[in-house]
Amino acid sequence: MPDPVIAIGMNALSVAMKAKCGQLTANDVADLVNDAGELLDSGQPVRIAVTTFATGYELYAHDPAYLRTLGVELHEAVARAVQPDPVDIHRRDIHG
């Protein structure tokens, strides 16, 4: 079974792109929220990003310009959440 963080992250990137392109539907958001709720822990950064996006969608579903902004924010949040730690994270001379 694939890593659920990666699976939900990919789904979230798809939803983000639909939001940026003006093709997002309520079913897309509902499916993403349901999947994230089932597969990810509540404190997981991808789940937090999905929940934040879904809340914004509920408030601004009628505003295509703001939905594009939400799509960009979701994309950036997922990219940050799935980025691995550097291999030299323990080095104080580089990372402080």
52 near 77, Cβ under 8 Å?
Answer: yes
Cβ neighbours for 44, distance < 8 A, ≥ 6 positions apart: 5, 81
* pLDDT tens digits, one per residue of 1-53: 579 999 999 999 999 999 999 999 999 999 999 999 999 999 999 999 999 99
Q: Which residues contact 53 (CB under 8 A, 6 or more apart)?
A: 12, 15, 16, 19, 29, 32, 70, 73, 74, 77
- Give the Å distances, CA to CA, from 6 to 22, 25, 35, 43, 63: 24, 22, 12, 16, 29
- Give the pair of three-digit tokens for residue 34: 């349901």
pLDDT of 58 > 90? The answer is yes
